[in-house]
Chains A and B, each alone.
Chain A
C-alpha cells in the first residue's frame, strides 16, 4: 500500500519524520513531504496525489494551536469533504488527518492504524 504523507513546517513534518524513524511502519511505501502550512492544501492537490497513491496522510498543528490560526482547520474541512465525495463515488481511497506536535506523534500512529484495518 502506498501512502503519501504531507506535514506542515511547524509541527506536522517534524512529527512525520520522527514517525518515519521507527523500525516497523505498516505500509510498504511511504513518501513524506513538507509544506509551509496545511492551509495550502486544496481538494485538487489531494485528488492529484490520490491518482498515484492509495492514501494520503496529512499532519498538522492541533486545531486550537495552529500557527496560522486556521490552517489545520481548513485542511480538516477539506479532508472531510474529499472523504465524503470518495465515499459517495465508491472509491476505496482515503485521506486522513492527524493533529500533532513535533513532540507528540501518537495520533499519527492512531490514524494510520485506520488505514491498516481498511486494507485488511
Chain B
C-alpha cells in the first residue's frame, strides 16, 4: 500500500472528501500537511507530492529539499496545481488522480541528493602570490605551494596532486596581463610631454594648479578597476571645482558605476565635469603647433557631432587584457583544458574560469576575489548523484560529451570503455545528454515525457 504525503499551502485548498475517495479507489494512504506542519521525518513515504506551481519549485529547489529531508530526489514530485486549477477547474480531481497513478508507476531511480563541500585548501598557479596568500589566510584558507613537478587530477569536487597525494578544494590561476594604451598615440604626441598617466596627474594636482586649462581623460572599456574609477572621479572633480578647469572624460562604453561610485560620479558631474561616450576607432590626436598641447578630434555618441578640442593635458589609462592561461602543463585531466580566460557571465560567480573549482584571480582585486573563493569553499552545494548517467553499451567514446560539458564534469573511464559523469560537479544542464550522438546519456526523470506530463492534456489559454 503506497504511503503518500501531500504538502500544501493556503493558496490551494485540498478537500478532505477527495482524499477519502482516492484512498478508497486506489488503496493509497494519503497524508496532507501544511508546510508549517510538515513531518519531522520523510523517509517512510513512498512519494512526497508538492501541490504548488512549477515556478516556485525549480529543479534546484527540489534538489535542496531532497537533501534536507534525506530522501531520494525521484521521490519528490511537483504537481502544478495552480496551473491545473485555472485551466481545468472541473477536471482538477481526475487529473490529480492520474498524476499520482503515473508517478507511482514510474520507477524510482537510485539517486541521492548530496551536500558537497570542497576542501578548505587551495593551490595557486603558476606560483603563489604573497598578497593573495595573505588575503586568503585572513579568511582561514590555506594555500599549498606547488611542488616542482606534479600533476593534478579531479576527485569529486576536489583536486588531487600526484605524487604528493595532497588534495585541494580549489585551484587559483594568476594569469599575466598585457597593457596597451586605449588609443594609439604617435611618438610626436608623446614628445609634447602632455600625454600622461593617472599617477602623474595625481601628483601634479597636489603640487600645481590647472586654472583655466583643458584636461581630457581617456578611459578604455576593459581593465579599469574600481579604485582607478574612484581616482578619476576624484581628480576630475578637483580640477573642475578647485581649478575651474575644463574637464572632459572620454569612455568607450557607458559607465556602469559600481556601488559607492555612483555618488562620486554625480559629484563630479555636478561640478562641471563632462562625460562623453566616444567611439575610439575614430578618435584622432595631433600635437598642437607649439607642441604644448594635444588636439583631439572626436565624435560623440550622443549627438554624432564631430568636434575638435585642444587639450593642455591628456590623461590616459591603459587597457589591460588578461592573457589566456594554459592549464595543460598542470592539469592532466581528460578534457584538453587548453587555455582559460575569466568568464564574463553575470550569472556565474565572478573570477570563474567556467571549470568548476578553477578560479582566475585578477590583479588589484585580491579582497573581492578571496571573498568569492571563501564562499565557494564554505558554502557547499547540493548535487544529485546518479541523475545523469552514461550507458556503457551505447557509448562509443566519441568524446562529444567531454568536449561539450561547460563545467568539466565528464571523464573517461577506460576500464569500462565509456565516459563517466562526475556527479559532484554536474549542474544538470543536460548538454551532454542532448549532444550525445549515440543516445548513450540519460537524464533520469528529466526527459520529454517526464515534464510534459499532466498539462499536455489541454492548453494553457
Q: Which A residues have a C-beta under 8 Å from some C-beta of B?
A: 2, 9-10, 13-14, 17, 20, 25, 27-37, 39-42, 45, 48-49, 61, 64-71, 74, 78
Residues from chain A with Cβ under 8 Å of B345 in the complex: 64-66, 69
Q: Are B434 and A41 in contact (CB under 8 A)?
A: yes
User: How many A-B residue pairs lie within 8 Å, measured between CB atoms?
Assistant: 101
Q: Find the B residue at minimum CB distance from A61.
A: B347
Q: Are A2 and B459 in contact (CB under 8 A)?
A: yes
Residues from chain B with Cβ under 8 Å of A28 in the complex: 461
| A13–B61 CA distance with the chains assembled, in angstroms | 15
Residue B19 at the chain A interface, CB threshold 8 Å:
no
Residues from chain A with Cβ under 8 Å of B435 in the complex: 74
Residues from chain A with Cβ under 8 Å of B434 in the complex: 39-42, 74, 78
Q: Find the A residue at minimum CB distance from B346.
A: A65
* A35 interface neighbour in B431, B451, B460, Cβ under 8 Å: B451
| A27–B459 CA distance with the chains assembled, in angstroms | 11
How near does chain A come to B11, taking the closest CB pair, in angstroms?
Answer: 15
Q: How many residues of B contact A (CB 8 A)?
A: 33
Residues from chain A with Cβ under 8 Å of B208 in the complex: none
| A39–B455 CA distance with the chains assembled, in angstroms | 22
Q: Are A69 and B446 in contact (CB under 8 A)?
A: no
| A14–B407 CA distance with the chains assembled, in angstroms | 25
Stretch of B234-242, B249-257, B317-325, B422-430 at the chain-chain interface: B422-430
Residues from chain A with Cβ under 8 Å of B431 in the complex: 39, 68, 70-71, 74
Q: Are A36 and B430 in contact (CB under 8 A)?
A: yes
How near does chain B come to A95, taking the closest CB pair, in angstroms?
Answer: 14
Residues from chain A with Cβ under 8 Å of B443 in the complex: 40
Q: Are B347 and A9 in contact (CB under 8 A)?
A: no
| A13–B443 CA distance with the chains assembled, in angstroms | 20
* A37 interface neighbour in B354, B428, B455, B456, Cβ under 8 Å: B428
Contact with A along B392-435 (1 / 0, CB 8 A): 00000000000010110000000000000000000111110111
Contact with A along B449-461 (1 / 0, CB 8 A): 0011001100111
**Contacts A37-B428, A45-B448 given; does A30 touch B460 at CB 8 Å:** yes
Residues from chain B with Cβ under 8 Å of A41 in the complex: 430, 434
Mind listing 17 A-B residue pairs with CB under 8 Å? Answer: A13-B58, A30-B461, A32-B460, A33-B452, A34-B54, A36-B429, A37-B427, A39-B431, A39-B434, A40-B429, A45-B448, A64-B344, A65-B346, A67-B347, A67-B348, A71-B429, A71-B430
| A38–B58 CA distance with the chains assembled, in angstroms | 13
Residue B111 at the chain A interface, CB threshold 8 Å:
no
| A18–B354 CA distance with the chains assembled, in angstroms | 31
* A36 interface neighbour in B58, B407, B456, B460, Cβ under 8 Å: B58
Residues from chain A with Cβ under 8 Å of B429 in the complex: 36-37, 39-40, 68-71
| A106–B59 CA distance with the chains assembled, in angstroms | 25
| A49–B406 CA distance with the chains assembled, in angstroms | 27
Residues from chain A with Cβ under 8 Å of B344 in the complex: 64
How near does chain B come to A93, taking the closest CB pair, in angstroms?
Answer: 17
Dominant SS among interface residues on chain A: mixed
Q: Find the B residue at minimum CB distance from A72.
A: B429
Q: Are B433 and A42 in contact (CB under 8 A)?
A: yes
Q: Which B residues have a C-beta under 8 Å from some C-beta of A?
A: 54-55, 58-60, 343-348, 354, 404, 406-407, 427-431, 433-435, 443, 446, 448, 451-452, 455-456, 459-461
Residues from chain B with Cβ under 8 Å of A42 in the complex: 433-434
List of 7 A-B pairs having minimum Cβ-Cβ separation, nearest first:
A40-B430, A68-B429, A9-B58, A69-B406, A36-B59, A39-B429, A39-B431
**Contacts A32-B460, A68-B429 given; does A13 touch B54 at CB 8 Å:** yes
Residues from chain A with Cβ under 8 Å of B54 in the complex: 13, 33-34
| A70–B355 CA distance with the chains assembled, in angstroms | 12
**Contacts A36-B428, A64-B345 given; does A9 touch B354 at CB 8 Å:** no
Residues from chain A with Cβ under 8 Å of B404 in the complex: 70, 74
Task: Indicate the member of B60, B429, B455 with the most A CB atoms within 10 Å.
Answer: B429
| A89–B182 CA distance with the chains assembled, in angstroms | 50
Q: Find the A residue at minimum CB distance from B406.
A: A69
Q: Are A33 and B455 in contact (CB under 8 A)?
A: yes
Q: Find the B residue at minimum CB distance from A40.
A: B430
Residues from chain B with Cβ under 8 Å of A61 in the complex: 347
Q: Find the A residue at minimum CB distance from B458.
A: A31
Residues from chain B with Cβ under 8 Å of A37 in the complex: 427-430
Q: Find the A residue at minimum CB distance from B344.
A: A64
Residues from chain B with Cβ under 8 Å of A78 in the complex: 434
Residues from chain A with Cβ under 8 Å of B456 in the complex: 31, 33
How near does chain B come to A30, taking the closest CB pair, in angstroms?
Answer: 5
How near does chain B come to A43, taking the closest CB pair, in angstroms?
Answer: 8
Q: Find the B residue at minimum CB distance from A37.
A: B429
Q: Find the B residue at minimum CB distance from A20.
A: B460
How near does chain B come to A52, taking the closest CB pair, in angstroms?
Answer: 8
